[in-house]
Structures are given as structure tokens and as C-alpha cells.
């Protein structure tokens, strides 16, 4: 009921998942990312415990395939699951259960993986892979968005459209980017709109927030007020 792409950008250290489906609130269940470790999507009668379990395995040094195998070992529903992952070395792996609803399949590539089920056909995965590959010069979030658009143009989820999500982490214990479209007639168009707002209103200020390299972030009141004034906002801190 879903197709997704998991990716690693070695230039920035980012890990990301972009996913879309004809089900409600896909961002609440499928994408999992962890700084310095990897990205995972768990889908097809989703078992949300698999995402953290695969990340834990990769954090211990297991390659993605072994981490997925270990996570699935105790899951009696593994024949219905689809899981794929990428690690900090750019290694990727995917598992598509024998009883996933057709069309179902995956392509694990160097630095990324695409997997889906209940799709219109293999072109959904293949065109997602092609679009992600050809747009290698673009920033990772926009590249992911274009890849999903290509898969949708190839037929997407054969039941229709409802939700989409994108999650990206770099150095912190929380995502730099975490946007969700839970219920929308055109979820990928709405995801693009939210991504543009994030790029304009959020991304430029990430380095001002508390982070591992600067645990307090920017706390100079005069500097913050000057930025507000420059933006046309009549705001002041209490003194």
C-alpha cells in the first residue's frame, strides 16, 4: 500500500525517508531515521517496531541486510512485511515478503533504496530510482520529492492517493526536516508546498537552534530582536 525511498547523502551526512500511500497518515508509521546510523522504511501491514530494531542493528555495525534479517527473525508476520534501509557507508538492502500484495518489489542501490507494494507496476519503483539518480545535483529533500513525483506519474499506489511524508536527520537526535501530509487528495503536491515553506522559513535558521555543537543555540536577545525588526515584526523580549 506504499512506496518509499530511503537515502543517505555523504556530503552532508543526512539520512532521509520519503514515502507516499493511499492510507491515512503514513508519516506516523513508516519512516525512521537516526543521525550517524541510517534510514529505514517499514511498510506493508506495517510493524513499527521493525524500524528502531533495524536502526539498532546498524548502530551495532551490522550491514543493512543483516539488520533487517535480525529484526524480522521474531516477526511471525514477516511474510507480509516490506522493509528497506541504508546505512552510513551507503550500503542498502531491502526485504519484500513473499505474500505482499502485487505489484510489490524493491531496488536496493548504492546510497539509496526504493521499495513498494500494492503498486500499479514495476515502473513505479524503476521510475522513482531513475528520477532520484538523474537529479543527483539537487539538494536531498527536493531530489526525494522529484523521485516520488516520478513514481506517481508511473501509476503510484494502484488504489489512489491519500498521504505522504518526508523525514531527514543530519547531526542531531531530532529531525532537521519532518513534514507530513496526513490526508489530502493530492498529497505529493501538498508535500512539495510544505517543503518549499520549510526551505524558506525553517532551513535557514536551523544553525541558530540548540544543537550538539552549540547546546544553547542563539540566545542574544538584541540579535534576535534585530532579526525580527529586519523582518518587519514589532516584537520585543520582556526586560
* β partners of residue 2: 21, 117
What is the per-residue pLDDT for 79? 98
Q: Could you give the percent of the chain with pLDDT greater than 90?
A: 98
**Whether 200 and 231 share a structural domain:** no
d(CA 230, CA 236): 13
Residues spanned by the domain of 234: 212-239
What is the per-residue pLDDT for 78? 97
**Whether 25 and 111 share a structural domain:** yes
At 31-74, the pLDDT tens digits run: 999 999 999 999 999 999 999 999 999 999 999 999 999 999 99
**Whether 121 and 83 share a structural domain:** yes
What three-state secondary structure class fits 201? helix
CA end-to-end distance (rounded Å), the chain: 54
What is the per-residue pLDDT for 49? 97
9, 54, 13: which is closest to 31 by C-alpha? 54
**Whether 182 and 118 share a structural domain:** yes
At 56, which CATH number? 3.60.20.10
**Whether 21 and 79 share a structural domain:** yes
**Whether 197 and 223 share a structural domain:** no
pLDDT category at 216 given cuts 50, 70, 90 is very high
What three-state secondary structure class fits 169? strand
d(CA 84, CA 111): 12
**Whether 183 and 235 share a structural domain:** no
What is the per-residue pLDDT for 194? 98
Q: For residue 95, give Cα distances in angstroms to 72, 128, 235, 236.
A: 10, 18, 52, 54
d(CA 197, CA 147): 19
pLDDT category at 29 given cuts 50, 70, 90 is very high
**Whether 152 and 222 share a structural domain:** no
**Whether 131 and 148 share a structural domain:** yes
**Whether 145 and 234 share a structural domain:** no
**Whether 234 and 184 share a structural domain:** no
Tell me how many domains the chain contains: 2
At 62-100, the pLDDT tens digits run: 999 999 999 999 999 999 999 999 999 999 999 999 999
At 140-177, the pLDDT tens digits run: 999 999 999 999 999 999 999 999 999 999 999 999 99
What is the per-residue pLDDT for 1? 63
**Whether 94 and 203 share a structural domain:** yes
Three cell numbers at 239?
526586560
Amino acid at each position: 500500500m506504499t512506496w518509499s525511498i530511503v537515502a543517505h547523502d555523504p556530503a552532508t551526512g543526512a539520512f532521509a525517508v520519503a514515502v507516499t500511500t493511499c492510507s491515512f497518515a503514513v508519516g506516523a508509521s513508516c519512516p525512521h531515521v537516526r543521525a550517524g546510523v541510517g534510514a529505514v522504511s517499514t511498510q506493508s501491514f506495517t510493524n513499527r517496531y521493525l524500524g528502531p530494531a533495524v536502526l539498532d542493528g546498524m548502530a551495532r555495525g551490522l550491514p543493512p541486510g543483516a539488520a533487517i534479517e535480525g529484526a524480522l527473525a521474531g516477526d511471525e508476520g514477516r511474510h507480509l512485511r516490506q522493509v528497506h534501509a541504508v546505512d552510513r557507508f551507503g550500503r542498502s538492502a531491502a526485504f519484500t515478503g513473499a505474500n505482499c500484495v502485487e505489484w510489490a518489489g524493491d531496488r536496493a542501490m548504492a546510497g539509496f533504496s526504493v521499495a513498494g507494494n500494492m503498486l500499479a507496476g514495476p515502473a513505479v519503483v524503476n521510475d522513482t530510482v531513475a528520477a532520484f539518480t538523474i537529479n543527483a545535483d539537487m539538494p536531498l529533500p527536493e531530489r526525494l520529492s522529484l523521485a516520488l513525483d516520478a513514481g506517481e506519474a508511473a501509476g503510484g499506489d494502484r488504489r489512489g492517493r491519500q498521504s505522504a511524508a518526508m523525514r531527514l536527520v543530519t547531526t542531531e537526535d531530532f529531525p532537521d526536516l519532518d513534514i507530513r501530509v496526513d490526508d489530502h487528495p493530492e498529497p505529493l503536491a501538498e508535500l512539495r508546498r510544505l517543503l518549499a515553506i520549510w526551505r524558506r522559513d525553517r532551513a535557514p535558521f536551523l544553525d541558530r537552534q540548540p544543537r550538539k555543537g552549540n547546546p544553547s543555540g542563539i540566545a542574544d536577545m538584541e540579535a534576535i530582536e534585530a532579526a525580527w525588526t529586519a523582518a518587519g515584526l514589532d516584537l520585543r523580549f520582556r526586560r
